[in-house]
Structure 1
Amino acid sequence: MKALVLSGGSGTRLRPITHTSAKQLVPVGNKPILFYGLEAIADAGITEVGIVVGDTAAEVQHAVGDGSKFGLRVTYIRQEAPLGLAHGVLIARDFLEDDDFLLFLGDNFIVGGVAGIVAGFRSDPCDARLLLTKVPDPTRFGVAELGPDGRIVRLEEKPRRPKSDLALVGAYLFGPAIHRAVRAISPSARGELEITDAIQWLLDEGLDVRSTTITGYWKDTGDVDDMLEANRTVLEDLEHGVHGEVDADTEILGRVRIAPGAIVKGSRIVGPAIIGPDARIVGSYVGPFTSIAEGVHVEDSEIEYSIVLADSSIRGVRRIEASLIGRTVEVTPAPRTRAAHRFVLGDYSKVRIS
């Protein structure tokens, strides 16, 4: 079995971060989200991996290399434009040949990995096996409608009126019949070859499409809120370890990991939180579910439930929450200006000014 990882999307919902960086390389827990997927693929016993790349190909290739650090052999497949998940399968035909394969979305995060479902597919193969999970807003995803026997009868991509709350998780298992399906379908109204349309073609042809509903954690890290939630989940399992320099005036509470080369002075760190190599935290508060990347400088500031990417600085800012701060960013207080209130008040008005 092979794996095909789609890592060519433009990440419009994560702009402006993705104007200069691949969305699959935005870190959670100080590790690119793509790496969690590659590690899960390796844990499932798959070694041959194709990665579909687009405009950020050079960045992805630099980060992943030949795959050997993950125990993988990686082949890069160039996609000239983000024309849909099924298009990714279409252009990977030569790499995939007629082997069964796992299709994995590079910006998806599945707690527990995919080893179990891959093993199940190997022992009991079919034309397609999908993972489903209940979501509060199915209009954002591909949605599956199940029949009375629990089998999938219809799929729809981002429906306005969903027939169920079961969304397709970003990991699919396919046999070779999917290659006929992606050649048979036409672009959707969005101009993309939808994987849901290809799977619907398999259903309409009477082929064997099965599903497994999972209850574990899954996140499509397509926007800032999803990234922060994935970061929170990763940090829940953080192992405590202080390897950097921490002075006697610093208080550390809970599970906190401080990397070698980091310096923490006169600060309060409340875990779970992670401080990357060569970061410098001075006179500051770093609260739970915060990831501080390498080379970041935080001074006289407070930050909680946030992700700060490499080489940024935060100085003199009293409170930052639920934020995603990119690379080499400077955050400082604005100059104070005189404030005045101007009113036109009618009779019998009551005004309260804090």
Structure 2
Amino acid sequence: MATHPPAEQVDAVILVGGQGTRLRPLTLSAPKPMLPTAGVPFLEHLLSRIRAAGMTHVVLGTSYKAQTFAEYFGDGSSFGLDIDYVVEEVPLGTGGAIRNVADRLRADTAMIFNGDILSGLDLTALLTTHRTVGADVTLHLVQVDDARAFGCVPTDPAGRVTAFLEKSEQPPTNQINAGCYVFERSVIEQIPAGRVVSVERETFPGLLAAGAVVAGHVDSSYWLDLGTPSAFVTGSADLVRGIAPTMALPGPVGESLVLDGADVHPGAAISGGTTIGRDTTVGEGAVVERSVVFDGARIGPGARVTSSVIGAGAHVAASAVVANAVIGDRVVVGENCELVGGIRVWPGVELPAGSVRFSADS
């Protein structure tokens, strides 16, 4: 009977090269995977789960603000990992980015992660499926209520992928590609080097056409793409409340996470999985619900912040209302201002005091 190497002999590859345009202005100062999420950069949560699964060698495929990753994680030793970095000088697509890290791989098998997915996937179970089927590639698939907005991935009764289908008004399955894969190294080395390649449109269909074994690992675990402000807020809150798994939460699971150096008035109400950043102040009577408040921000007395992101050093003045909004770094929201309905305020803007209502439509 064939034996398989343990998880520590599997490389982890994380693709973190995107510019995160859907999350601007937050990503003007940091790549999406480095945004503070439940108290630490989002990538730290993912790395904690990779380490817990037994993988120790990690390759980060970087591009946008590439130096940010190395400055924070270094060689990975303080996180119990061995981290290599590969910079993508020009955009190469999902398949091209995977091919771009091939020369840093040490094992015959690699687990590939999209760096903006928050997931409860059992990584060991995914690897077991890959080995049991004897697959060349195994995809993590999740089932969604409405698959029309996604490409669908049907599988046969044996769990082998049969097709990769574009978005459809009548999808034949509710299974979608969840952005985590196991590749044999030999398959990665077959991806064309030095040009744009899409795994969804080129690599995976090409493997099926060539008769390769492409397996699907279907589960119903927690899964969220953090690409939009509302999803980012949801993901951070779910980590704080223990709904999404992590081994990197810098505090106990609960309705709020208040980081060191924050000054929250006893008369303030913090709830819904809110994170209050370091050296932040929250005044008397303020209500902060299901939000992410970055380091050094100030929430004035009587202010109300709901389902929003408040950037580093921003000031939400007394009695202001911020709901479903993104407030950039160093923004000043004047007293009695109301910002609601998906509005985004770019860094450094000062909104005057007064009973003024700003919305995404105004």
Question: Under TM normalisation by the shorter chain, which class is it?
Answer: 0.7 to 0.9
- Structure 1 distance, partners of 2:116, 2:217, is 21
CA contact (8 A) 1:105 1:171 kept: yes
Task: Indicate the SS of the match to 2:233.
Answer: helix
- TM-score, reference length from structure 1: 0.81
Q: Where does residue 104 of structure 1 map in the other structure?
A: 113
- Structure 2 distance, partners of 1:158, 1:80, is 30
CA contact (8 A) 2:152 2:174 kept: yes
CA contact (8 A) 2:159 2:215 kept: no
**2:65 counterpart of 1:60:** no
Q: Where does residue 260 of structure 1 map in the other structure?
A: 260
Name the larger-Rg structure: 1
Quote how far apart the aligned CAs of 1:124 are: 6.0
Q: Which stretch shows the higher mean deviation, 289-298 or 85-94?
A: 289-298
CA contact (8 A) 1:313 1:329 kept: yes
Q: Which stretch shows the higher mean deviation, 116-125 or 24-33?
A: 116-125
Q: Where does residue 314 of structure 2 map in the other structure?
A: 312
After superposition, residues 219-234 of structure 1 pair within 5 angstroms as: 219-234=224-239
What letter is aligned with 2:325?
Answer: S
1:154–1:118: structure 2 CA closer, same or farther, 3 Å change rule? same
Q: Which stretch shows the higher mean deviation, 42-51 or 108-117?
A: 108-117
CA contact (8 A) 1:147 1:153 kept: yes
Quote how far apart the aligned CAs of 1:283 are: 2.1
What letter is aligned with 1:193?
Answer: V
Quote how far apart the aligned CAs of 1:5 are: 0.6
What letter is aligned with 1:304?
Answer: T
Q: Where does residue 4 of structure 2 map in the other structure?
A: none
Q: How many residues align?
A: 323
Q: Where does residue 329 of structure 2 map in the other structure?
A: 327
- Structure 1 distance, partners of 2:186, 2:45, is 28
- Structure 1 distance, partners of 2:96, 2:71, is 24
CA contact (8 A) 1:30 1:292 kept: no
- Structure 2 distance, partners of 1:198, 1:31, is 34
Task: Indicate the SS of the match to 1:41.
Answer: helix
Quote how far apart the aligned CAs of 1:163 are: 4.1
Task: Indicate the SS of the match to 1:77.
Answer: strand
Q: Where does residue 198 of structure 1 map in the other structure?
A: 203
Q: Where does residue 212 of structure 2 map in the other structure?
A: 207
Residue by residue over 1:190-230, the C-alpha shift from the partner in whole angstroms, topping out at 9 and shown as x without a partner, is xx411122122222211221111111111111111221221
Q: Where does residue 283 of structure 2 map in the other structure?
A: 282
Unaligned runs of 5+ in 2: 1-9, 244-248, 338-351, 357-362
**2:308 counterpart of 1:299:** no
What letter is aligned with 1:306?
Answer: S
CA contact (8 A) 1:44 1:119 kept: no
Q: Which stretch shows the higher mean deviation, 34-43 or 322-331?
A: 322-331
Match of 1:118 among 109, 127, 137: 127
Q: Kindly report the root-mean-square deviation, in angstroms, between the aligned alpha carbons of the 2 structures.
A: 3.0
CA contact (8 A) 2:284 2:300 kept: yes
Quote how far apart the aligned CAs of 1:160 are: 7.5
CA contact (8 A) 2:278 2:296 kept: yes
- Structure 2 distance, partners of 1:307, 1:205, is 47
Task: Indicate the SS of the match to 2:162.
Answer: strand
What letter is aligned with 2:70?
Answer: Q
Quote how far apart the aligned CAs of 1:75 are: 0.7
- Structure 1 distance, partners of 2:50, 2:104, is 17
CA contact (8 A) 1:311 1:329 kept: yes
1:222–1:202: structure 2 CA closer, same or farther, 3 Å change rule? same
Unaligned runs of 5+ in 1: 243-253, 339-354
1:240–1:94: structure 2 CA closer, same or farther, 3 Å change rule? closer
- Structure 2 distance, partners of 1:16, 1:257, is 23
Q: Where does residue 218 of structure 1 map in the other structure?
A: 223
